[in-house]
Structure 1
Amino acid sequence: MHHEFLGLAIDEWGSVVAILGGLGGVVGLIIKMTSVMNKLQNSIDTLNATLHGLVNDNRVLTGRVDGLEDKLEVHIGEAKVRNQRITALEKEVFNHHEDN
């Protein structure tokens, strides 16, 4: 007994179903991998944006630190001048009292 449908025997239909199933699996795998690759690309883009932001923040902070260092240098210079004046005034006051 030989069963046929649309000109193909049962074993031939089994082969066709197996081939179509395999192709369907490959297409499903491609779709899944594409989804994974898109998620990975989005994660890389987010990481890249974060790193770019950190680099910019670092540049801003470096500029601020440089500005603060400059201000500190000015204050140190002013403090030295102030200390010299105080020392000179102390000498003048104490030497003046000793002379009297």
Structure 2
Amino acid sequence: MTFDSAVNEAVDFAIRGDFLEEFFREKRMKILDDIYTEFDQESYDETLRNDGRIEGARENAIANAKNLLHMNLGTLEQISQAVSLPLEQVVALKKELTRESVTVTN
């Protein structure tokens, strides 16, 4: 469920259940605005990092970029965009793979 859907469902539930019904009807837009204003992206990202989700996603993006580089599929810019990594990081991965290839063939 998206954040928007969850917030709207919670407000609708409170209204249907007569939990301060008139207050919620009158203040709906203010409540929603306050909730969105209070949402802290940094705190959310920190929670995800602590759960290992962001790091896992980053590791997947790096692995995907390496696979695309190995298969010579796309330009560095296209790979960067496809896996949502900065171009500089994709360039560094390409250099790393080139060094590994040289080491293996020697």
Between structure 1 and structure 2, the one with the greater Rg is 1
Q: Indicate the structure whose relative CO is greater, using CA pairs within 8 Å and at least 6 residues apart.
A: 2
- TM-score bracket, normalised by the shorter chain, equals under 0.3
Structure 1 length as normaliser, TM-score?
Answer: 0.25
Of Structure 1 and Structure 2, which has the larger fraction of its residues in helix?
Answer: 1
